[in-house]
Amino acid sequence: MNHQCPDSRIIQTVLVGGQGMTERSPFMGVALLAAPTVGVIAIRMGIPALEDVLKEDMMAQAVIHVTALLIGIIMYFRYRVVEDHEYHRSSAIKGLQKMYKMEDKGLWEKGDSALERLESQARESPKGKAALKRQKRMAGRISDINKENDELELDEDDERMSIDVDIEGMATIVDSEAMEESESANLSGKISARAEASAQKRLSKELAKRERVAAKQAKKEAKAARKAEKAALKLEKVAAKTKTKPKKGIPAAWDAKEENLWANTPIPSSLSKSVVSCKDCGAVNNAGTSYCTSCGTFL
């Protein structure tokens, strides 16, 4: 099996990518490398106070110049790298290098473990019936697998045949009867359960209906009772009012008696010309009035 290592693929890709990359200007790289140091020197020369402090502290001066040099190196290497298609391709392959190694390792480890498991199973010696069966198979030949056994001829009167037939027939009959009984029992149970469920539903519906009717009847009775109470209160109020009215009616009765007296008494001719009696109530009115002052009838 021709298996190519992932490292060789990555190295080959990087080499090909290096040849295909565009060249950068070396003078620009040197300028970027020296730019931070030149900047530090310019700052020192432009600020005399800072220059005096750095001359006294050599450690700080060394740290500043080393930092500037490191920044220049980083800028130089970043300028030299061209992030084109090949650069991104090689970086992606480098990122997948670990996954390639794990895949190859897992594939070969799984194959080795499978072979070891098969070999261990072949080396193990079975026990019991499995050992006898295996020994019998190993002792025979491959052609014996498809070989048919010798036929055993039995007469119709043979006891073994009759016993076998009777037992099998009885077993079949018993099994069929048992299955039919179980099916009928299950069917009857299902039917009874459904009937009971439907009866319970009908009973619950009827009870709910009766409860609703009883509630409506109770509401009607309560409403009628309230109406009767209101009517009784009204009658009591009317009766109380009628009991208090006769006192006011006494003068009216007295006026009626006086009118009757005046009607029965003979009126002189001089008075009869100046007064007129009402035909309905008999009250005496002035001759100039058109309506009765007592009942309002037209004279």
Q: pLDDT exceeding 90 applies to what percent of the chain?
A: 4
In a domain, 157, yes or no: no
Same domain, 261 and 238: no
CB within 8 Å of 262: residues ≥ 6 apart: 284
Same domain, 30 and 61: yes
Same domain, 233 and 275: no
Same domain, 238 and 273: no
In a domain, 11, yes or no: yes
Residue of 134 and 261 predicted with greater confidence: 134
Same domain, 49 and 102: yes
Same domain, 97 and 21: yes
In a domain, 129, yes or no: no
Query: Would you say 297 and 280 are in contact if contact means Cβ atoms under 8 Å apart?
Result: yes
Domain total of the chain: 3
Same domain, 263 and 279: yes
Instruction: Please state which of the ranges 39-53, 63-77, 183-197, 254-268 shows the lowest mean pLDDT.
Output: 254-268
In a domain, 188, yes or no: yes
Domain end: 84, 108, 132, which one? 108
pLDDT tens across 99-122, in order?
Answer: 777 777 766 667 777 788 888 877
Query: In angstroms, rounded to a whole number, what is the distance separating the alpha carbons of residues 31 and 37?
Result: 10
Give DSSP secondary structure letters for 161-229.
HHHHHHHHHHHHHHHHHHHHHHHHHHHHHHHHHHHHHHHHHHHHHHHHHHHHHHHHHHHHHHHHHHHHH
Same domain, 91 and 20: yes
Domain end: 108, 135, 158, which one? 108
pTM for this structure?
0.25
Beta bridge partners of 285: 276
What six digits make up the tokens of 217?
């009847």
Backbone angles phi, psi at 23, to 5 degrees: -80, 140
In a domain, 58, yes or no: yes
Surface-to-core class of residue 175, CB atoms within 10 Å of its CB (0-12 exposed, 13-18 middle, 19+ buried): exposed
* pLDDT for res 20: 40
Query: H or E element: which one contains 127?
Result: none
Same domain, 12 and 96: yes
In a domain, 131, yes or no: no
Give DSSP secondary structure letters for 153-165.
---TT-HHHHHHH
Query: In angstroms, rounded to a whole number, what is the distance separating the alpha carbons of residues 50 and 40?
Result: 11
Same domain, 236 and 293: no
pLDDT tens across 4-24, in order?
Answer: 444 444 444 444 444 444 567
Give DSSP secondary structure letters for 38-64.
HHHHHHHHH-HHHHHHHHH-HHHHHHH
3-class secondary structure, 28: helix
Same domain, 18 and 98: yes
Beta bridge partners of 276: 285
Same domain, 82 and 24: yes
Domain limits for position 223: 179-250
Domain end: 108, 129, 151, which one? 108
